[in-house]
Structures are given as C-alpha cells and as structure tokens.
Structure 1
C-alpha cells in the first residue's frame, strides 16, 4: 500500500496550491510596490465627497430696513469630476434629466481633476432634483445655491445695480459694495460607507460659510417709488426720452431718492439694453441753463457787487455785448436784482457776471463743487465740465451766469442747491448709512458726514431762499410747483442740448428742469428733476414740464415724513405771471 505523500494526485494539488500562493504573493507585492499609492488614492476618492456650503450675499435695505436686494435658495446640480468613474454614462443620464444633450454636460464632467466642484445646472425644479437623487450617480449631487433677488423689481435699479450669474456685483451698489456684501463659501468633506451613504465628517473636513454683510441705505423706498412713478408719468405725458429725479435731505446730505426713468428690472437685466443701466443722476452732465443762475447771483451778493433792489437794464430783450448778441425770452426793460432771477433774464445775469469777473466766477463755481466729483459712494460718477481758468474768455463771463459753457450732473446741482437750504454749507451727499453684520450689529456708521466747506454766508443763503427763490415759485416761472400747506423755493431751467463734439446746439432739443426746497423757513428737503428731450410741440419749459413733478414728489415726501406745514391755513401768494414766464 502506497503512502499519501506519494499519491500523485495529492502532489499535483499541493503543487497547484503552492503555485497559486506564489502568484498571489507576487501580485500583492507588485500591487503594494507599484500600484499601492494609486489604489489608495482611488479608494479615498471613492470614500470621500466634497459638499459645498455656499455663503449668503448680504442684503441691501432702505433706511427703514425694507429689502431692496436679497438672497434666496434654489436647488442646483454640481459634479465632482474627480470621483466620477464612467463620465460618459453620467453625462447621458444627467443630460436626459435636464433635457439637454450629453455634449453640453460632458465638458464639466471632464474638467481637470483638481477642480472638485463644477456647477452643472442652476435652479432645477423639484421633479428634476428628485430624479438626480434617484439616479444616485457618485460624484453628481445637489446643493442649496443662494441667488440674488430684487423683490421691489425696478425700484432703484440703476442705483443698486445687479450681480452676475455667479453672484458677483456688476454695477451700482452691488459692485461698489462687493467687499462688504460678498461672504466666503465653506465646505464639508463626507466619508461614505460601502453603500455610499454618508458616514462621518472627514478630519478637518468642515469649514463653515461666512455670510456677507448687510448694507443699510439712506434711500427711502416709499419716496423712491413716488419719484420713479412721477418721472414715468412725465415721460409719458411729454413724450420725453428720459428723466432723472433726486431727493436730498438738505441738512445732512442724505439721498432719500435717486431715480432714473425709464429703468429696468435687475431680476431680468438681460432683457434690457445697457443704456438702461446708467445712473444718469451721476453719469450724464448737461448744460444746466437757468437752474444755474442762483449760484452766480448768490456769489455776487457774497462779494457785494450787487444789492437787493438794485435795478438792471435788460435792454428790452436784446443786448450787444462786444461781438456777442444776447437775448431774453421776453423783452424786459428795467428789472430789480430780485426780478432778474424771478423772471430769469439772461441779459440781467450776464451783467451780474461781468461785475463778478472771471476770477471770482471760477472760484465760486469750484466752491459749489462744480467741475469735480461729489465723492458720493457710487462708481461711475462724472466730474462734470468746468473749463480750466486759462481757457476762460470774455464769452465765458456772460455764458456761465446763464448756465452755458458748463456741464453739471443732476447730483451736482442738487448738492449745490442745498447751500441755500442749510445756511451756506456744501454738504457731502451719501447713500450708505451703515454696514451691518449678519446678526445686525453696526460695523461701520457713515451717517451725517460733516459739511465740506462754507460757500456763502448764512445771511446770503437766507436772502436767496426767502426773498428771491421763494418768489420764483410764488409769482415767477415756478408757480406750478406751489403747495397749499408748504412754502417752496426753487428755480426753473430750460436748456438747449449741445451738439456732441461742439458746434452749437441741437434744434428743438431741450432739458427741462426744476430744482426746489421746502419748507422755506426751515428747509428739510431738496428735490431736483431734469427731463431730457420732451416733445417741443407739447411743452418744453422747465416751469411747465418739470415743476409739477417736483410738486408731486415734495407733497408726498413732506407729508410722509411728517414734516410740519408752515402754511397750515393753506394760503399762498396769488400768481401774477403767466405759466412759463421767462422761457423757463
């Protein structure tokens, strides 16, 4: 009988087992030596997934905390290209769910491995989100993505601006305040079990998102809405191209409204042309015409080259000044200094300008802030047009007092007019009242900046306001701005639009404007309205087109802010002039 050790079958089996062990051992050595690092990395990729934690952009709110720009959440689809094994199959599945071709999905899935987060589709509906979950493709997931909303739609759109699809500020305050509004994204790295269910957080795999800061504005949404509504009505009535309106607090420089019409809806900004994005209140200078006259008149009073009651010969409407022939819209004869402004005589103002002379004219224009940016907290502000003094000549001496040979933005005019309302000081206009932490703490307080400088004395400012500009409204060219319970002071303007590149003025093209303050005894508000290219066949004088708009804005704002009437009995001075007297 043979022993088992000599059994040929057993020997064959034993040899096979030994060979198998040798092969397996060699394979393990090979794997460990040559593929261990790669396989370990692959295993880690298969066990871990990165989930983004998106920050919420800060809010933009009005002075009463009403949201103008905010953030909401939507479900969006992302991919982690590093862990997707069959990218072609994943592209086909995701494309079918989203209703697009696989070719649209593939580039994101084939992104460089260093990119662990690719947004595939923003804002999927509930059904698509559930289908993504059910597909259970490793490396494809959903995340809560914040997106920008503007709940008041067109309100203050040119002022606030909008963000890109990636949530980055593109224009307006959204751009200007990017460093405050934008937060910082976080992430969490999840370790998954064999069934790819979340198991635990990886070591050091959690970084919370930091939400952006909130921006509190000086804008009052109610006053802003009123201003925009009245501008739109005016454009429709006079078939104008555009209009701008500004409401300022005369004492502090706070902007309560800054409106441009027609506007746009920042929720759908791509539906509008870029021209709608312009904040014309700060970007578009124009020759102001007669609204500029009070600034020169006040300078003349401050320099004591004129006095109240002094009479000027207005030459019956035509005056040859050297090589230049000047005209008035009406053939005035002798007018007092006050009436030169009340009736808006170009000839009377030209003579006042000659008394001041170019040196003092230029110095005061600079003091009022013309020719330089106001420093308001907005990008894109134009400095206006004030020629260097060495380019001034004898024509300039008589042009500047009529609001010609100079370009101003609506904001520059409103700011300068506040000088008459607050006792002679040039205020710093501002829009941002404060920056707030997500929990409401005040991080930066920008309210009530100090005035920049004194321009005229308190006495001159009061005289201009109470004895001259109030009469423009009571009996002069601004009668259509009168209010029953509040006294108003203001100035009209009807300016021709200069040709681009020089060479005179466009035919039948005007900017109709009116600027006013109220109440006259204790001014709180200054309102400026400029209407570009009203149809001349309907009306184009500032006293007809713009003054009624200012009246409606003032009436609403004064009552809304509960500013005490200074005419509780409703008495006003009867107008003795026809509408539009003086061509303004």
Structure 2
C-alpha cells in the first residue's frame, strides 16, 4: 500500500516538475525572449528589397533628353520552389537571358529569395512568369540613353540599382539619385510568396540636370570625327569645343566609345572622356604657351632674327631636329612655321623658374576643377627637378604631360583677350526645392596685348604657315598644329612610328566665340597635325558656325553662284 502511495506521489511530483518547467520555459520565451523571436519570425516571413525610383533626367542645354528612366522588370524565385536549378538556366537561355554565377550558387543551395536577372523587358518578363508561375518579377526603373555613344563619355552610366557609376551620372549622383523604395515580400511557412506590396511610382521626377552640351553639335562633330578617324587610320580621336566668353563646354566627343545601355560589354578603357583623361606630350601646339611666356615676361621682339641651324641643333648632348631646315627666321616666323630649334633658342636665355611658374599659372600639372567628369592632372615636374634639357624640351611640348582640356582652356583665354572663364559642363541642376548652378569664375592669364599678339600670330599660322589645311573660305580661323612622338612608358623611350597629331585654335578670329581642339592618336596616313587634325578642325568649325546661324549658308550660296556664272 505504502509502495503504491509512494509511486503515485513520485509520479505526481515528476508531473508537477514537468508542468512547472513548461510554464517556466513559456514564461521565459514570452517575456524575456519575446523581441528576439518576434524578429526571427519576421525574418522568416518578411523580406525587403530596396529599389531606387524616379532618378533625375539629364538634358542638354536646350532640354534634349540625354538620360532618362524607363520601366523594366527583374525576375526572381524562391529557392524552395525550385527542384532543378539547371532547368532555370535553360528557361532563361530560351529567352536570351542568363543568371550570374553567384545567384546560380544561391539557387543550387535553394536559399530564400534569389534574383535571376535584372533589367528585363516587361513584356518578356510577363511571358516568362505566365509560362512558369514559380518565376516572379517586379517592375523597377533603369536608365535609358537616347543619344547612345555620342554622349556616353560625358553622361556616363548607372548600375543595376540605378546608382551613378561614370561621368555626370556618377559626379552628380547625389542630385540625380531617385527615391529609395522598399519592396516588401511576405512568405508563408513553406517559403512561398503570399504578398507583394510596393508604393506607387511617381509619374515624373522633379529632378533634372542640364548640361552645357549642344547635342546637335555633339552629334555633328561625332560624325565628322569618326569619318576622319577612318580616313586617317587613327587608333583614337577626340574633338571638343568651349565658348571662350562663358566657359561652357559645347561639345566633347572621343572614340572609340561605348553604348551606355550595355556598358559592361565594352572595355573600361573606352568609358572615360579623352578631354580630361587622355595624357599626352603636346608637341608643337605647346609653342603658343611658350610664346605667351616670351611675350609676357621676356619682351620678345617678333622681328628678332633667329639662327635655326639648318634643321639640326645639339644641346647638352641632345639633338633637336626640324622637318623643314631653315637658316634664319624672324621670331614671328618661328611659330608660324612651327620651328623647334628657333623656339628652343628664343627660350634659351629666359629664366627657367619664371617659365615654370608661368606654366603653373596657366593651369598645367593641376586639375581644372571642371564639375561632372573625372580629370587627370597631367605632369609638370617641380622646378628643382628640372635638368638642363627641361626648359628647351618643354618649350616645344616635350617632357610635360597635359590633358586636351588644359591646352584648350589656354587657347580659350588667348581668344578671350587673355581672360579665362572657368570651363564647365553643368549648366544647372534643378528640383522642386532649388536650382543649383556651379560657380563660374574668370581670371586674367595674359595681358590683353599679349593675347592680341598671339591671335595675330595664330591667324598667320593658318593663313600661310603649317595650319593652312585648317583654312576656311567662310570663317577666319586661328590655331596651331602639333605633331608629337608618343612616349612608350613601359619601354622608357619614344616610339619610332606612333605619333599624336593635333590642331587647336579658335574662330572667328575677328570676334572669337569658340576655342576647339582635335587630336588623333597614332594616325597611319600621315603623322602630322597639319595634314590630319587641321582638316577635321575646319570641317567641324564650319558646321558649328552654320548651326549657330553664322552667315555661312549665304556665303555658300554666293560662292556657288560665282562658280556657275
């Protein structure tokens, strides 16, 4: 009897302990671990994906759209719905789509929410989802570039999440960035979607960025440049123009280029603009800078006779040569005929430190600060690092690395009577709250007298010097030719066959409006800027002035009338 009572008591006590343990455990879970398990439950049933919508539109100076948004779809699945990951690969392949290796690994592990592919045409995504109900899609925005490669190196591009990665898209991402929207996915205990909720799209973005670029001129210059690149057999080519009175960059094209709608299919070397990222030894186009120094600080007498040594002159064991051998030239004829030895001799007695400081003042070896695109600084060594050959070499555009924009802004200052208006690419950025305009400043680089003298000399270069192929029947052009051997950094020497041919100048000379530069890298038909870039310069200059309403059309008609009479 006692044994039975003991057994019953033992069972009751044991049962009480079990029940008490359960209540203690429940109390612990409900009270002390409530927040942790609530969060765990949410993680099991909720998934948020952040998307960016209504990114600001990019326009040219006249309001022509250069970058806008269009709706696209992104396909996704839930891993537990998928029995055969390879089957998904085949389905996507049927529609010319693909899943990247990282997401495919997630798919093989059958993990929760998995992107299959992004930025798919909405119609295509809908067809896939209707045929394979376990493949879902969500609408989102991605970038579309109506002008394609013509403006790619200026406008840039965005990534799959619509974040700016290159060009203006990157530089002004903070002002263009769309609103962040959370897409919420509810899942049941078997990991199946039961709700997809998204806020409404805003019909139109209130943000926008206006560039100084004229897309008509941009397109025209691109057509001419590509045609002439083929004509001269060049590996690369670029052309850019700036309004000398306002500092606005009105066009900038360089090739090879890329299509920003599928930028990942192109080499990264094609992404950046040559205007600010192409470093080169300028050669003879730099002589206008040297003459600016000589006029400004050395009281150069343009009638001074210079012994040009019949085309061969040795300094510190290094021999300078000229294509055309001259005995003696006036100082003015030295620049008109692009004579190396004459330039070296005119600079020989100049103060090297003053020359270095002048080049710094002109903006070499430093960024211009142009907003909207990445920029190289170039290379101008400190004066205490100069050798005996530095001053004569730099005077003719060797031993210094520059960008096209650095050269262009100097010529713009010359054309603007010595005053540089800071070059800029952004006209304004607007939203519903403010209008942002970049700071545009001006500074005097040269005296008006020096600038006027250079304008006259550069006009003579085109009229009867090395730049005659840039001469136009319809507008007066002033400028300078350049031909420079390419320095092979990896080999530590100059190339025997590859050159950089260039022409930089301004027009119309009587009242300058536009400064422009044209560069060809490694042309094969001719190595000389006067035989390549000068032709392109003249063609683009005429088209620009024609589009600006300059009286070229009437002049052309008059010319044709005279020919037929």
- Alignment equivalent of 2:544, drawn from 557, 560, 564: 557
Q: Which residue of 2 aligns with 1:444?
A: 436
How far is 1:512 from its partner? 0.6
- SS of 1:377's equivalent in the other structure is coil
Q: Which residue of 1 aligns with 2:446?
A: 456
Instruction: Give CA deviations for 1:524-562 in whole Å, capped at 9, x if unaligned.
Output: 101101101111xx2111101110000111111111122
How far is 1:521 from its partner? 1.6
Instruction: Give CA deviations for 1:428-453 in whole Å, capped at 9, x if unaligned.
Output: 2111111122x6x7520127x111x3
**In the alignment, is the contact (CA less than 8 A) between 1:424 and 1:455 conserved in 2?**
yes
- SS of 2:229's equivalent in the other structure is helix
**Cα distance in 2 for residues equivalent to 1:509 and 1:47:** 64
- SS of 2:395's equivalent in the other structure is helix
- Alignment equivalent of 1:151, drawn from 139, 146, 150: 146
- TM-score by length of structure 2 reads 0.81
How far is 1:92 from its partner? 10
How far is 1:350 from its partner? 0.8
Change (3 A) 1:399 1:118: same
**Cα distance in 2 for residues equivalent to 1:91 and 1:30:** 45
- Contiguous gaps of at least 5 residues in structure 1: 1-28, 573-584
- SS of 2:389's equivalent in the other structure is helix
**Cα distance in 2 for residues equivalent to 1:92 and 1:533:** 48
- Alignment equivalent of 2:67, drawn from 66, 69, 91: 69
**In the alignment, is the contact (CA less than 8 A) between 1:350 and 1:401 conserved in 2?**
yes
How far is 1:369 from its partner? 0.6
**Cα distance in 1 for residues equivalent to 2:554 and 2:496:** 42
- SS of 1:180's equivalent in the other structure is helix
Change (3 A) 1:502 1:351: farther
* Equivalence map 1:64-463=2 (5 Å): 64-78=62-76, 87-88=81-82, 107=106, 119-122=115-118, 123=120, 126=123, 128-129=125-126, 132=129, 141-187=136-182, 213-321=207-315, 323-437=317-431, 443-446=435-438, 449-451=440-442, 453-463=443-453
**Higher radius of gyration, 1 or 2:** 1
Instruction: Give CA deviations for 1:251-283 in whole Å, capped at 9, x if unaligned.
Output: 222111111111111122233222222322212
Deviates more, 1:48-57 or 1:313-322: 48-57
**Cα distance in 2 for residues equivalent to 1:128 and 1:308:** 72
- SS of 1:552's equivalent in the other structure is helix
Instruction: Say yes or no: does 1:477 pair with 2:466.
Output: yes
Change (3 A) 1:207 1:146: closer
Q: Which residue of 2 aligns with 1:511?
A: 500
**In the alignment, is the contact (CA less than 8 A) between 2:153 and 2:271 conserved in 1?**
yes
How far is 1:46 from its partner? 11
- SS of 1:382's equivalent in the other structure is coil
**Cα distance in 2 for residues equivalent to 1:179 and 1:268:** 23
**Cα distance in 2 for residues equivalent to 1:33 and 1:543:** 90
**Cα distance in 2 for residues equivalent to 1:457 and 1:568:** 35
Q: Which residue of 2 aligns with 1:20?
A: none
- SS of 2:348's equivalent in the other structure is helix
How far is 1:95 from its partner? 7.7
Give the superposed CA RMSD: 4.0
How far is 1:166 from its partner? 2.5
- SS of 1:394's equivalent in the other structure is coil
How far is 1:185 from its partner? 2.1
Instruction: Give CA deviations for 1:474-495 in whole Å, capped at 9, x if unaligned.
Output: 1111111112221110000111
**Cα distance in 2 for residues equivalent to 1:232 and 1:368:** 31
**In the alignment, is the contact (CA less than 8 A) between 1:184 and 1:211 conserved in 2?**
no
- TM-score by length of structure 1 reads 0.78
How far is 1:159 from its partner? 2.2
- SS of 1:166's equivalent in the other structure is coil
* Equivalence map 1:37-76=2 (5 Å): 54-76=52-74
- Contiguous gaps of at least 5 residues in structure 2: 1-22, 188-192, 560-565
Change (3 A) 1:241 1:91: closer
